[in-house]
C-alpha cells in the first residue's frame, strides 16, 4: 500500500468512528485486560472524543476505566441496534472545573435524562463523579464475535412483582349491567 492509500484509509476510519459514535446514544466500553467486562454507557461526542460521566450516586458505573488506560469501544446502530464499528480508545480523566471539563459537562448536561437535581447537576458531578474522554487511538478494530451482554451491576432497585389478582376488581370494580 502506498502512503496516500494508508492516509485515505485512516481518514475513512476516523470518519466512520466519528459519525457512528455521534449518532449512537449508547456504546459498549471494555477496559484494559482480556477479562474486563463490557459496560453499556450513554455518552456525547465532543471535540473528537466520546465523553462519559459516572461512578457517582445515581450515575452509570465506569468500573475498570482509569486515566491513561486503553479501552475498546463498540458502537451500535441507533436504528437496528446492531454493531457498527469497534475502535481503540485512550482514556483521559478530566479534572473538575478545568476548561476541558466545563466544555464536556456542558454537552453531557444536555443529554442527561431524568437527573434528580437539574441545574445543580454539574456541581454534584464535580464533587462525586468522574468525567472521562474516550479518545480514538488508531484504526478501527474487528467487531467482536461474541455476546457483549454482562450481568447487571449490583443495585438496590427491584423488579416489579405481579399484582395480586384482587387489585383490578378493587381499583375498577365490577361493571354493572345496564337494563
pLDDT of residue 95: 95
The whole-angstrom separation of Cα 70 and Cα 90 is: 4
User: Is residue 105 a part of any domain in this protein?
Assistant: yes
Q: For residue 42, is pLDDT > 60?
A: yes
Taking residue 63's Cβ as centre, other Cβ atoms within 10 Å add up to 13
Q: Which residue has the higher pLDDT, 95 or 143?
A: 95
What pLDDT digit, counting tens, does each position of 145-163 carry?
777 666 776 777 776 777 7
User: Is residue 178 a part of any domain in this protein?
Assistant: no
What pLDDT digit, counting tens, does each position of 70-110 carry?
999 999 888 887 888 999 999 999 999 999 999 999 999 98
User: Is residue 179 a part of any domain in this protein?
Assistant: no
Full domain range(s) for residue 16: 3-172
pLDDT of residue 32: 87
Mean pLDDT in residue range 64-69: 88
Q: Is 47 exposed, middle or buried (0-12, 13-18, 19+ CB in 10 A)?
A: exposed
User: Is residue 62 a part of any domain in this protein?
Assistant: yes
pLDDT of residue 1: 54
- The CATH number covering residue 105 comes to 2.30.110.10
Mean pLDDT in residue range 15-31: 91
User: Is residue 61 a part of any domain in this protein?
Assistant: yes
Confidence of residue 175 (pLDDT cuts 50, 70, 90): low
**Per the structure, how many domains does the chain have?**
1
Amino acid at each position: 500500500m502506498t502512503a496516500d492509500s494508508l492516509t485515505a484509509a485512516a481518514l475513512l476510519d476516523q470518519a466512520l468512528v466519528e459519525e457512528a459514535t455521534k449518532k449512537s446514544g449508547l456504546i459498549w466500553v471494555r477496559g484494559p485486560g482480556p477479562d474486563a467486562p463490557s459496560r453499556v454507557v450513554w455518552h456525547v461526542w465532543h471535540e473528537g472524543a466520546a465523553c462519559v460521566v459516572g461512578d457517582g450516586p445515581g450515575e452509570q458505573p465506569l468500573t475498570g476505566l482509569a486515566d491513561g488506560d486503553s479501552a475498546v469501544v463498540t458502537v451500535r446502530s441507533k436504528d437496528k441496534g446492531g454493531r457498527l464499528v469497534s475502535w481503540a480508545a485512550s482514556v483521559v480523566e478530566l479534572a473538575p472545573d478545568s476548561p476541558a471539563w466545563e466544555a464536556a459537562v456542558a454537552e453531557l448536561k444536555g443529554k442527561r435524562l431524568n437527573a434528580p437535581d437539574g441545574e445543580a447537576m454539574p456541581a454534584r458531578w464535580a464533587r462525586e463523579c468522574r468525567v472521562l474522554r474516550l479518545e480514538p487511538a488508531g484504526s478501527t478494530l474487528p467487531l467482536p464475535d461474541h455476546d457483549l451482554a454482562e450481568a447487571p451491576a449490583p443495585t438496590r432497585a427491584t423488579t416489579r412483582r405481579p399484582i395480586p389478582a384482587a387489585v383490578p376488581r378493587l381499583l375498577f370494580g365490577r361493571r354493572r349491567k345496564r337494563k
